[in-house]
Amino acid sequence: MSSNFTIQRKYVQAALLLGVSRNLIYQLINAGKLNTCNLSIRRTIILKKGMVYYFRQGRL
C-alpha cells in the first residue's frame, strides 16, 4: 500500500497543514468531506490522501 494511504494526522496537525481551524476539520469530517479512518471509538486518523485531494479541489 502506498504511503499516501497510511500517513496519519491529528486534527490539529491537519488544521495547520490546511491553514484552517481545528473546528473546521471536525465539521469537514462530520460532513463526510474529509477522508478518515476510524480505528476505534476514540481513535480516528485523517488520511493524507484525503487532505491532499481536498486541498487541490480549492474548497478552502
- Tens of pLDDT, residue by residue over 4-42, are 444 456 788 888 888 888 898 889 888 888 888 888 887
pTM of the model: 0.67
- Rounded Cα distance between 51 and 9, Å, is 9
What gap in Å lies between CA 56 and CA 50, rounded to an integer? Answer: 10
Measured CA to CA, the distance from residue 15 to residue 24 in angstroms comes to: 8
How does residue 53 score in pLDDT terms, banded at 50, 70 and 90? Answer: confident
pLDDT at 1: 42
Residue 51: pLDDT over 70: yes
